[in-house]
């Protein structure tokens, strides 16, 4: 049996790796110059630049199944966050996992005491539940769920909007509450982390062996699928070359999957911009993310990457990243200037931080036009199945599950299982 996989992101790599381990002949074709899809890293002048700020939740079930977490040498963020608002900084944390910051967090006035208790109770409840229980029941927006759970508007605006806005890429909190509960559970059970050598190391673990064996063809865009007597039997490349297989897996982002298959896919695209700055001094100490709680924020969150993962910067240098939600009409230069101005507002009153920022220089900008698909309440049961409904055609991509690294790997697993099931049923 030969399986052609179109796309070498995490879903396609996971699917190909599983099939290859089961003795199935696989060929992966990738339009770009490397594997990993949106999970890639660039290296220049001693710095590591992930293509968009991302983290790995080490509690992800799929990550634990498919990745050697120890070999990634994970560098962990401390739980909680630094909330920046009106020239002041407020520390939040999980007192059970970050005792060093527990007292400051207990005394901070940015979150009412009852809401701090609600956060602890929610974490305890979700830790006790299985993932299927967390995802069960009717759906609603994250905002409606938080309000129904009793959280104040102060806590919603100052913490949940910027923190989960950075995860969902939408500060409105219109994202499905099931996504919120799942991510909250993951963060309460494990750390958010960066591989010491960049997020691209995740793709490397999944796909480097396939690449070295010549099973992945880079710079190989696909023009269209080939169909014979109603069955998808291969793909015609942009070069005109035709590749044939017993099964074809489309493992691309949803818009490309829709183009190739002409089947319905999740609509819309959430965009984001990551700006990298380099300096000689850290803007702040510690390994927490800094949230911009200002209602007119340009930067949603900033993080001293080199505090968390020193390997991301050369000796004597520091790396700061800043996340802007959505697109921006500003040029790169103007966007860097506006972001630095916003960083100064975030750290107003902190003389050391402001002095450090004076020495920071722009390094890189990544504008991610398709970072996630919008996940409105109720969308998940409507997502495509791994089986397309067309003979010979399968899907492996986050668009069959949810918009996350975990979901991409799960989709790859399920797709591989579907292909194997058909092989056993048809014995081809």
pLDDT digits (tens, 9 = 90+) for 204-232: 999 999 999 999 999 999 999 999 999 99
Phi, psi of 84, rounded to the nearest 5 degrees: -105, 120
Report the DSSP beta bridge partners of residue 232: 227
46 within domain boundaries: no
pLDDT-derived band at 422, boundaries 50, 70, 90: confident
Host domain of residue 141: 56-65+70-195+270-372
Q: In the predicted model, is pLDDT for residue 103 greater than 80?
A: no
- In angstroms, the CA 395 to CA 390 distance is 11
Whether residues 324 and 176 share a domain: the answer is yes
Query: What is the domain count for the chain?
Result: 2
* pLDDT for the residue 94: 79
Residue 384 DSSP symbol:
P
Whether residues 32 and 158 share a domain: the answer is no
Contacts of 37 (CB under 8 A, 6+ apart): 7, 8, 9, 10, 11, 12, 203, 253, 408
Whether residues 317 and 407 share a domain: the answer is no
Any idea which of 166-170, 343-347, 419-423 has the lowest mean pLDDT?
Answer: 419-423
| Digit-coded pLDDT (tens) for 303-324 | 999 999 999 999 999 999 999 9
Whether residues 182 and 221 share a domain: the answer is no
* pLDDT for the residue 427: 58
Whether residues 36 and 147 share a domain: the answer is no
Residue bearing tokens 């970050």: 98
47 within domain boundaries: no
- In angstroms, the CA 11 to CA 26 distance is 14
Cα 232 versus chain centre, distance: 31
Whether residues 145 and 129 share a domain: the answer is yes
List the beta strands (DSSP E) in 188-246: 192-195, 216-217, 222-228, 231-237, 242-244
Whether residues 97 and 74 share a domain: the answer is yes
Residue bearing tokens 């993932």: 131
286 within domain boundaries: yes
The closest of 248, 210, 225, 286 to 8, measured between CA atoms, is 210
* pLDDT for the residue 101: 66
């Amino acid at each position: 049996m030969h399986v052609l996989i179109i796309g070498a992101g995490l879903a396609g790599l996971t699917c190909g790796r599983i099939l290859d381990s089961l003795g199935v002949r696989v060929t992966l074709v990738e339009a770009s110059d490397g594997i990993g899809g949106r999970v890639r890293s660039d290296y220049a002048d001693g710095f590591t630049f992930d293509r968009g700020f991302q983290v790995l939740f080490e509690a992800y079930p799929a990550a634990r199944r498919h990745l050697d977490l120890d070999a990634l040498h994970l560098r962990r963020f401390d739980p909680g966050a630094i909330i920046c608002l009106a020239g002041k900084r407020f520390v939040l944390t999980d007192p059970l996992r970050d005792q060093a910051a527990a007292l400051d967090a207990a005394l901070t006035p940015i979150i009412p005491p009852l809401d701090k208790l609600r956060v602890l109770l929610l974490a305890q409840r979700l830790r006790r539940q299985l993932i299927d229980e967390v995802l069960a029941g009717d759906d609603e927006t994250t905002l409606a769920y938080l309000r129904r759970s009793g959280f104040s508007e102060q806590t919603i605006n100052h913490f949940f909007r910027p923190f989960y806005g950075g995860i969902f890429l939408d500060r409105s909190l219109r994202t499905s509450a099931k996504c919120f509960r799942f991510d909250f559970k993951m963060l309460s059970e494990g750390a958010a982390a960066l591989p010491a050598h960049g997020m691209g190391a995740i793709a490397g673990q999944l796909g480097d062996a396939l690449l070295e064996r010549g099973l992945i063809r880079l710079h190989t865009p696909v023009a269209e699928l080939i169909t014979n007597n109603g069955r998808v039997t291969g793909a015609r490349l942009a070069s005109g070359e035709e590749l044939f297989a017993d099964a074809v897996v489309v493992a691309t982002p949803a818009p490309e999957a829709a183009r190739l298959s002409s089947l319905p896919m999740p609509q819309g695209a959430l965009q984001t911009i990551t700006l990298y700055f380099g300096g000689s001094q850290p803007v702040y100490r510690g390994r927490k993310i800094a949230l911009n709680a200002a209602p007119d924020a340009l930067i949603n969150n900033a993080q001293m990457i080199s505090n968390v993962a020193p390997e991301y910067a050369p000796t004597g240098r520091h790396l700061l990243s800043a996340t802007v939600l959505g697109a921006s009409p500003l040029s790169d230069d103007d966007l860097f200037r506006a972001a630095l101005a916003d960083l100064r507002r975030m750290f107003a009153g902190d003389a050391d931080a402001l002095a450090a920022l004076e020495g920071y220089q722009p390094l890189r900008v990544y504008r991610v036009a398709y970072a996630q698909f919008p996940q409105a309440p109720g969308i998940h049961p409507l997502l495509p199945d791994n089986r397309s409904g067309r003979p010979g055609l399968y899907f492996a991509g986050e668009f069959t599950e949810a918009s996350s690294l975990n979901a991409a790997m799960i989709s790859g697993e399920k797709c591989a299982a579907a292909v194997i099931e058909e092989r056993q049923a048809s014995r081809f």
